[in-house]
């Protein structure tokens, strides 16, 4: 072993975020991608002040739910907007899972572009493990 | 030749890279792009292999 690095994941790639949402059941047709941020809807159909570029419409979130949004920040990262009501189901654990699926998809996308290849991968105790090789040697 | 990298993605989505079998500073460049694409680095550990650099006298031997 010669190098060990831990990285806190930032959600920056729209592609990988959409892949991660699809992994968690919000695939095409259940997510709206807007060129310009749109207002989120509350459970009465009321327009909220918060806006987002990526929106899971409330009907796909659950009964009596509000829209879930992902708002692009000035630093290029997405921030999740989830109502207090919906945090019961889509709280810290769900965000952790989403971030994990995002990191996985984002790495796979990057690996395929960067001369790397995946030798093996598996899940164990809720964590994802990948063995990666390179085509350009050490 | 392949240079194995072990990646662990924990339950919070944070990513841990372990580059092994690569000698010298080149190992740092190996994961740089992946780290940058993932997010912000929070911890790094370099082992003794990192210090293995080619001595100057070898580089100048043929000159």
Q: What is the DSSP string of chain A?
A: --EEEEEEE----HHHHHHHHHHTT--TTS-EEEEEEEEEE-TTSPEEEEEEEEEE-HHHH-TT---EEEEEPTTS-EEEE--TTGGGTSSHHHHHHHHHHHHHHHHHHHHHHTTEEEEEEEEETTEEEEEEEESS--
Please state, in angstroms and rounded to a whole number, the distance separating the CA atoms of residues A109 and A71: 22
Closest partner residue to B39 (CB to CB) among A1, A10, A132 is A10
Residue A3 contacts B, CB cutoff 8 Å: yes
User: Greater confidence, A82 or B28?
Assistant: A82
Please state, in angstroms and rounded to a whole number, the distance separating the CA atoms of residues A2 and B51: 9
Q: Which of A10-24, A73-87, B24-38 has the lowest mean pLDDT?
A: B24-38
Residue A79 clears pLDDT 80, i.e. is over it: yes
Q: Model ipTM?
A: 0.91
Tally the residues of chain A. Answer: 138
- Contact list in A for residue B41 (CB cut-off 8 A) is 5-8
Cβ contact B15–A127 (<8 Å): no
Q: How far is CA A52 from the centre of its chain?
A: 14
- Contact list in B for residue A133 (CB cut-off 8 A) is 2-5
- Chain A interface test: which of B9, B35, B42, B51 (most A C-beta within 10 Å): B9
Please state, in angstroms and rounded to a whole number, the distance separating the CA atoms of residues A71 and A58: 16
In terms of residue numbers, what domain contains B55? 5-59
Residue A1 clears pLDDT 60, i.e. is over it: no
- Cβ atoms B38, B50 nearer than 8 A: no
Please state, in angstroms and rounded to a whole number, the distance separating the CA atoms of residues A121 and A30: 28
Domain count, chain B: 1
Structure confidence at residue B40 (pLDDT): 84
Q: What is the mean pLDDT of residues A34-39?
A: 97
């Amino acid at each position: 072993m010669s190098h060990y690095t831990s990285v806190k994941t930032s959600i920056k790639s729209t592609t990988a975020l959409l892949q991660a949402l699809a992994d968690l059941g919000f695939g095409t047709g259940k997510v709206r991608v807007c060129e310009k941020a749109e207002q989120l809807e509350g459970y009465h159909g009321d327009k909220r002040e918060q806006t987002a570029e990526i929106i899971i419409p409330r009907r796909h979130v659950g009964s009596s739910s509000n829209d879930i949004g992902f708002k692009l920040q000035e630093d290029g990262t997405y921030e999740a907007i989830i109502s207090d009501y919906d945090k019961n189901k889509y709280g810290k654990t769900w965000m952790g899972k989403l971030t994990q699926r995002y990191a996985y998809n984002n790495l796979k996308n990057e690996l395929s572009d960067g001369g790397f290849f995946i030798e093996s991968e598996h899940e164990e105790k809720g964590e994802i493990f990948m063995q990666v090789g390179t085509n350009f040697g050490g | 030749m392949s240079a194995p990298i072990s990646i662990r993605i924990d339950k919070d989505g944070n990513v841990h890279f372990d580059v092994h079998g690569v000698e010298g500073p080149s190992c740092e460049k190996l994961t740089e792009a992946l780290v940058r694409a993932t997010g912000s680095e929070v911890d790094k550990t370099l082992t003794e292999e990192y210090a293995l650099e080619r001595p100057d006298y070898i580089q100048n031997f043929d000159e």
